Amino acid sequence: MQELDLKTIRQRAMRSLLQDGILEIVFGIYLLAWGAALDVNSGALPFLPFGLVFIPVIIKVVQRRFVYPRVGYADFGVANKKGAAGSVARLTASLIGLSIGVFAVLIWKSGIGLKLWSTHMLPVLVGVLVALAPLIFAFKYRVTRWYAFGALFIASGFAVQRMNPLWNHMDIIGAELEIDGGIALAAGLALFIRFLRRYPVQAAEVRDGAR
């Protein structure tokens, strides 16, 4: 019973830590970058997976600038801060898998059988891969909005195939990742704005910053 209570408390604490929308913003920007690079067949494609190294750093910098002055650094305890770091690591690992998977498939040479696969089955596979990170968060921490993200990302793999019959697989996957990234970014920005309004900077922090 006590173990169950601790698990519930930690889940609630993690939901509180995830309320600022920063994770969604970074996730959305990364997907948008992939989509844009695929649309123009950019030479930056091989280097995008390395951008994942900076995700935890970016999140930490933004949190120090906007989150900690409002809700503090240790409000949820050491164990949950470690949990937050582990969650970012899992998200990063999921994105690494997505990056490697998409890049490996897209470097194949075109062919008749591959064309059917790449324009119909591949978008669904990419949608499932993109949905992995949200669904991990949803199941582990009961973050309701991430269930919705997962469902929308999978659905995008089916919907994007019908947007333009002239698109090749690069166009389709690029558009899919842009759609998914746009969804995550828009949601993250809405959450971030709500967070800033709900938790103004403490008076002491403002005075310190003015000195």
pLDDT at 94 over 70: no
Report DSSP letters for 107-135, one per residue: TSPP-HHHHHIIIIIHHHHHHHHHHHHHH
- Start-end of H helices in the chain: 2-17, 22-39, 55-62, 68-71, 78-106, 112-116, 122-141, 144-159, 169-198, 203-210
3-state secondary structure at position 182: helix
Percent of the chain with pLDDT over 70: 66
What is the DSSP-derived secondary structure letter of residue 200? P
Q: What is the pLDDT of residue 124?
A: 85
- When the pLDDT of each residue in the chain is averaged and rounded to a whole number, the result is 76
d(CA 137, CA 143): 7
Segment 139-158 shows an average pLDDT of 90
Joined together, the tokens standing for residue 207 give: 């005075």
| Predicted model pTM | 0.74
Q: What is the pLDDT of residue 126?
A: 86
pLDDT at 134 over 70: yes
Q: Which of 21, 6, 12 is nearest to 146 (CA)?
A: 21
Asked if residue 105 lies in contact with residue 119, where contact means CB atoms within 8 angstroms, the answer is no
Q: What is the pLDDT of residues 160-187, one digit of tens each?
A: 988 888 888 788 889 999 999 999 999 9
Q: Which of 74-83, 89-98, 120-129, 199-208 has the lowest mean pLDDT?
A: 74-83
Q: What is the pLDDT of residue 17?
A: 73
| Bigger pLDDT: 80 vs 152 | 152
| Bigger pLDDT: 118 vs 34 | 34
Q: Which of 1, 68, 9, 39 is nearest to 167 (CA)?
A: 39
Q: What is the pLDDT of residue 112?
A: 45
Segment 104-111 shows an average pLDDT of 51
d(CA 168, CA 145): 32
Q: What is the pLDDT of residues 10-61, one digit of tens each?
A: 667 677 778 899 989 999 999 999 888 887 776 777 677 777 778 888 888 9
One-letter amino acid of 113: G
